[in-house]
Structure 1
Amino acid sequence: MTFYSRMAVTQYTVYTEKWEKEQALRIVLLADLHSRYYAEGQDKLARLILDQKADLIALSGDIIDDQIPTQGAFELIKKIEGSAPIFYVTGNHECERDDLDDILTELKKYSIKVLDDKEAVFVFKGQKIRIAGLEDPCNRDCKMTKKDWILEKKNLFHKQEDTVSILISHRPELFYLYDRWGFDLVLCGHTHGGFLRIPGLLNGLWAADQGYFPKYAGGLYFHEGKAGNYAQVVSRGCAVNPIVPRIFNPPEIVVIDIKNKKLKNTELL
């Protein structure tokens, strides 16, 4: 099928040497819902998420749109609330809303941890996991220059050696920050999968802030940063926009399993 609307579940596994015990942490990553309904009442999408039995749910921005009513997003949130700790960062579309503060307040009513420029400790089976979030550059009413924004953020987070560290950020291309912060895993969205894919030839035609033939349209990537190697997962997003069809590019929820079994060095966090 060329034009995709059926939701896919895409699964990746990364490995760490920081855990002593044999165990695995399952993350479900959701991005770019844009307040849209996947099915009436969001029941099908919620069930698909719940079936993954996540230990942690990451919402990496644009869950809520700036032009579409918020009901679709909050109906989904109500249905998955309580299934796992949920962590959230803003995307550019949320930041373009005039009522962003009200939106963030409403999210917190559902026990969602808003991590814009903040970090928290998540304890999983006795292991402390550091999880942080970067606010979208479009925040602050989009008035800061890119240079000033980078200068403000460059020392926002610092590497920690003794615990697995996860960063949620909407945009995948901000390597001038990710490379220096020393996170083990970076979770992103924003690209919508590059809209058009040609399997085996083209991973994405165009993505916001990357342009044509984006290098990071969607998938699992490994990087050598200034503060150490890290993995990055870029979601292709869950929204189905009838105006802009997804060609060979199904909407997806992403499942990431972090395990402590050593396989290849390139797969180690």
Structure 2
Amino acid sequence: MKKFLVSLVSILAITGLATVALNKKLKHVTYQFQDQNIKTPVHIAVLTDLHNNLYGPEQVELIEEIKATNPDLILLVGDIFEVNNGTDNAKYLLEWVGANYPAYFVTGNHEYYTKEILPLKELVESYHIKVLDGDVAVLKVGETYLQIGGMDDGKHSTNYPNQMRQLNENFDSSMESYNILLSHRPEIFEDFNDLPLDLILSGHTHGGQWRIPGLINGLFAPDQGLFPKYAGGEYDLGNRNLVISRGLIYQSKIPRIFNRPELVTIELVNVENE
């Protein structure tokens, strides 16, 4: 009987640990930043690395989660589509996003893997979502001005140098604004040192796939290898911040361990209001 009880407790403990480790429930993560140029508070929903995954019929579950964050705008930071996996699931989300919010999109590596990059950009813009590929958009939210720049995936775009020049020309350093850059890959943040930025938003890493909270932030990330420095979360880069979303993907060949998919919200507030 004693051996049976020990075995039973061990099985229950292992089952419980595995249930927590493999939890795929979407998690909300919020980052708050203060700046004197934030006259009116701004809420931003950040969507990355959907990889055409489906959250309920026609994305209804994901849509409800986004609506609950009450965003003023939505930023899509690459790998919304997935090579050889169709586009329907991504299209459900894009159609709703473009119909309800100001929204901006940059490509990731998986958009390039489809070999249909131009048709995909046209598809995104057909939903009234602005594709940023060297552009800088200006958006006013209340009394706050945002400059939002973005560029194609830094590894696969043959137009990368030209887009960098465009960004340098298009960001207005004299404007009293909060400046955001969308870059799918986080590890290339030093390429943007000359830009007048406050915040860089990235994805791509999937949170390092496997994590041990408090010990290992991520086991592996593309282009960074084992134990990546920039796996997920918030990073202080001195005169700006980098936020890496762990992404929305929950169905993949490699299971996520202690690494739930996440919906990121950015809250921008004035220093005096905090």
- Measure the CA separation in 2 of the matches of 1:244 and 1:262: 45
Q: 2:256 aligns with which of 246, 253, 256?
A: 246
Q: What is the deviation of 1:64? A: 0.6
Q: Which runs of 4+ in 1 moved over 3 A?
A: 149-152
Instruction: Provide the C-alpha distance between the structure 2 equivalents of 1:97 and 1:117, rounded to a whole number of angstroms.
Output: 21
92-101 or 104-113: which moved more?
92-101
Assess if the C-alpha contact under 8 Å between 1:4 and 1:245 holds in 2: no
Is 1:236 the counterpart of 2:246? The answer is: yes
Q: CA deviation at 1:177?
A: 1.4
Alpha carbons of 1:125 and 1:263: their partners in 2 closer, same or farther (altered >3 Å)? closer
Query: 1:198 and 2:212 equivalent?
Result: yes
SS at match of 1:255: strand
Which structure has greater strand proportion?
Answer: 1
Residue 76 of structure 1 pairs with residue 118 of structure 2: no
Q: Report the number of matched residues.
A: 252
In the alignment, is the contact (CA less than 8 A) between 1:167 and 1:186 conserved in 2?
A: yes
The match for 1:182 among 196, 199, 216 is 196
Give the CA RMSD over aligned residues: 2.0
Deviation at 1:79, TM superposition (A): 2.8
> Which residue of 143, 158, 164 maps to 1:153?
164
Alpha-carbon shift at residue 101 of structure 1 (Å): 1.1
- 2:158 paired with 1:119: no
User: Counterpart in 2 of 1:6?
Assistant: 25
Q: 2:268 corresponds to which residue? A: 258
8 Å CA contact 1:58, 1:88 repeated in 2 = yes
Q: Which has the larger radius of gyration?
A: 2
Structure 1 residues 126 and 176 mapped into 2: Cα distance closer, same or farther (>3 Å)?
same
Aligned to 1:267: none
Name the structure 1 match of 2:45: 28
1:49–1:80 contact (8 Å) kept in structure 2: no
SS in 1 for 2:122: helix
1:166 aligns with 2:166: no
Matches within 5 A, 1:40-59: 40-59=57-76
**Superposed CA offset, 1:65-106 (max 9, x none):** 122101110012223333321100000110122222111111
Structure 1 distance, partners of 2:76, 2:102, is 11
Unaligned 5+ residue runs, structure 1?
A: 265-269
Separation of aligned partners in 2, 1:86 and 1:103: 16
User: Offset of 1:242 from its aligned partner?
Assistant: 4.2
Give 5+ residue unaligned stretches, structure 2.
1-19
> When the two structures are superposed, what TM-score results if normalisation uses the length of structure 1?
0.87
Amino acid at match of 1:120: A
Task: Tell me, yes or no, if the aligned pair for 2:133 and 2:163 is still in contact at 8 Å.
Answer: no
Contact 2:204 2:222 in 1 (8 A): yes
Distance 2:252 2:242 in 1: 29
